[in-house]
Every structure is written in structure tokens, then in C-alpha cells.
Amino acid sequence: MNTKIAIIGGGPAGLAAAVSAYDAGVKDLLILERDDKLGGILNQCIHNGFGLHTFKEELTGPEYAERFIEKVRERGIESLLKTIVVDISKETDGLVVTAMSAEKGMFEIHAQSVILAMGCRERPRGALNTPGYRPAGIYSAGTAQRYVNIEGKMPGKEVVILGSGDIGLIMARRMTLEGAHVKAVAELMPYSGGLKRNIVQCLDDFGIPLKLSTTVTDIKGKDRVESVTLSKVDAKNQPIPGTEEEIPCDTLLLSCGLLPENELSGMLGVELSPVTGGATVDESLETSVPGVFACGNVLHVHDLVDYVSGEASEAGKHAAEYVLKSTPGTSETPIRLETGNGVRYTVPSFVRPSRLEQLLTVRFRVGNVYKNPEICVYLGDKCLQRRKKQICAPGEMEQVIIKKTDIETMAPGETIRIAIETE
């Protein structure tokens, strides 16, 4: 098969990227989705809270997805469902995507550009080094969400949740509404990894305790979970002897972080960030491999799907510009974005001034909770911006906007640095 742009993933990022690329002038597009329908993880997120930025109204996950699916249908953009991409490789005049499905078997797609929109996955128990037996009743929060919302099955009745990511917080509320007793949400870090509104709406409103600086140190039960032991941890995240608390339960949900799905990216040779696990990209969301763009949770884990869609729209537009040969050359030395004083990473990771539009939006996350901080932007040794905030927390993304004219004044070899400063 041949196509101008192959989009890997039919979730919110892939759908928004496809619509944007089509509207930017490339009509020959192909979406590849491994599930049996478009929409991605949104299909199992039946709670509301989506779409306030994009559509100015509150939607459920399936409703939000359907808005973009309808845009794809209106444009006649082709999609292949139940199709798994197993490899991406470079060739002299483009890229080759190798995929397989029950209908077509193994086949190749030759594309001029590829947009990576594979999303992310949850950390499994094996990555958490949790001791104890391997009984029934241990689920990732996303798996439990699918059981309850899609398949109509209850994972259990007496529940403990490890990790206060947004999916874990939302499942604490969901399980409670379905009649389960959520006894506690334990969080290894001294702060929650979820949005503040989810802490209030999903825990505080239902009287569910959030135990910070706490982890699971033992799981009892051979056939089914019978209880878990929670322990406080020190500054090095090591359990503190004497703080053990055994909680009887039949279910343990794990919500301990998300990992971008980047096996394909690594096979292609895309440079990956050691912090996010996603690709490093420039201002156009182009990766280190020319013609390959990344957006959504495969790039970095977002807090709102509205931001996923906005970012993916930019990726689609720039992929179309690449195919239509309207992207400026890349002979100039890119300017690196550096992080300092609590900033974990930035997107983009580097910029090419000739490609910039009038404004550059830089998104980033902090690595701790900061009260009354100042977000500072340095161009070389010069402090360009200093903006005060009441609070910065790891669960919510921050952003700064830099003018192209300011970047053009930078001397060769200088970098852009984003930092958090406190009194």
C-alpha cells in the first residue's frame, strides 16, 4: 500500500492529527488502529470532564471521541482497524510501516511521513517490585476501568488503590459508585500525581483517605487477595519499620504511572527522552528521524485530553507541510531547551528559529510541589520572563510562551532554560 501520511493510533491524538493534516492539504491519509473501533482509551472513560477547552462544553470520553470520529468520517479519511503495526523502517524515499491483521495478513505501507500516536500504557506490577504472592484480585486501574465501564464486571468489593494518578483517583470514585468500599488510596510520593480537581471530586467528596508517602509492602492471600500491608516511606522511598498497617481487602488496583508506547519509535531509531520515555521533538513535533512526528501520550503523558488534541493538530499540520515540501530547511544548528530548579522536561526539546511561527509554546512538568514559585525563562544568561504562581504540582502541566523575535536575538551556542525559583 502507498499513502502520503500514515498515522499510527486511532485515539484522540491520531484522530486530531489526521483531521489537521487533511485540512492542511494532504488528502491521502491512513489511520492504523489495533482496536476494533476508533477512539482509543476514551471509549472506556465514561465520566465527564472532557472537552471544556476544545468544544467549550463538558463531555464524556466517548462523546469527545465521537466528535473527532465524525470529523474523520466527514473528510473520508481511511482507517484500518484490528491492525497491529510491528515495524517502521527508513528507505531512501520515505518510510515503510509493516503491519498485520487477520484480514490482510502481513503487509507493508510506504509513506512519505509517519505520525506516532500510539498513546501510553500502565506500569505493571512487575515494574513496581511489590512483594507477596500472585493471587487473583490485582489489577491495573485501567484494566479495572475497562471491566466496570465496558464489560459490566466488578473486580471486587473491598478495594485498596496504590498510586494517585488520575486513573486511580477516577476509579476510586467509580468503584464507590458501583457499591464497592474503597478503603484507601496510597501514594509513594509526598504529593498526589493527579489533578487537584480529581482529588477533590473523587476522594474528598466520598471520604476516601489519601495516604501520602505510603506504599504496599506486602500482599497476603494465595488464591485471592486477602489483605495488603501499607507502610510509610522515608525521603529515599524506603519503608519505615514500625509503620505497617494491614488492611483487609479482596482487590488491589495499581495506578502507578503511565509509560509512552515507544517500542516502535526505538526500533526506528528515534531519539527518546530519558525522563519521559517519549521522543525528543522540535517546535514542529518532528522527531530526530526526518518525516516522523510524535504527539499525545506517546510523546509525554498529558493531564487533559484537550491538550492532546491541540498538540496532535500541530503535528498533523507540520506533517502535511513536510509532505508538501513547505517546511524550511534544517541546516541551521538547533537551540536546545534546558531544564533547571525543579523542571523535569520540556516539549519541545529543541527549536529551529527559521521554522518558528510568531510564538513558541513550551510545555513542561515540575518534579515537586512548589508554593508561590516563579516560573523563569532564560535566553542564555538573560532572564526573559518571570511569572508568579500560587502553586506548581507534578500532576498539572505548565507552559510558557516565547516570542520568535526574542529567540532570534540569541547568540550562537546559547540555550533556552526553563526553571522554577522560590524564595
- What is residue 411's DSSP assignment? P
Phi/psi of residue 122, nearest 5 degrees: -85, 150
**Which architecture does CATH list for 2-121+259-327?**
3-Layer(bba) Sandwich (3.50)
In the block, cell 492529527 appears at 17
| Domain extent listing, the chain | 2-121+259-327, 124-256, 354-421
Distance CA 260, CA 297 (A): 6
What residues contact residue 118 under an 8 Å CB cut-off, 6+ apart? 8, 9, 260, 261, 262, 264, 298
pLDDT for res 329: 60
Q: For residue range 96-117, what is the model confidence (pLDDT) as tens digits? A: 999 999 999 999 999 999 999 9
pLDDT for res 126: 59
CATH number attached to the domain at 124-256: 3.50.50.60
Closest listed residue to residue 130, CA positions, set 263, 260, 234, 225:
225
Closest listed residue to residue 376, CA positions, set 340, 406, 350:
340
pLDDT for res 127: 52
Closest listed residue to residue 275, CA positions, set 349, 186, 187:
349
Strands 2-8, 105-116: pairing is parallel
Strands 245-248, 227-232: pairing is antiparallel
Q: Label residue 140 left, alpha or beta by phi (over 0 means left) and psi (-120 to 50 means alpha).
A: beta
Question: Which residues does the chain have with pLDDT short of 50?
Answer: none
pLDDT for res 355: 85
Burial state string for 239-260 with b = 16 or more CB within 10 A and e = fewer than 16? beeeeeeebebbbbbbbbbbbb
Do 98 and 71 contact (CB within 8 A), yes or no? no
Distance CA 187, CA 161 (A): 9
pLDDT for res 323: 95
Omega within 30 of 0 (cis) for the link into 348: yes
Please give the full DSSP string across 58-96, using - where no structure is assigned: -EEHHHHHHHHHHHHHHHT-EEE-S-EEEEEEEETTEEE
- Global pTM? 0.92
* 2-121+259-327 and 124-256, same CATH topology: yes
pLDDT for res 318: 96
Closest listed residue to residue 188, CA positions, set 235, 143, 142:
235
3-state secondary structure of 145: helix
pLDDT for res 154: 96
Q: How far apart are the first and last CA of the chain?
A: 59
pLDDT for res 132: 67
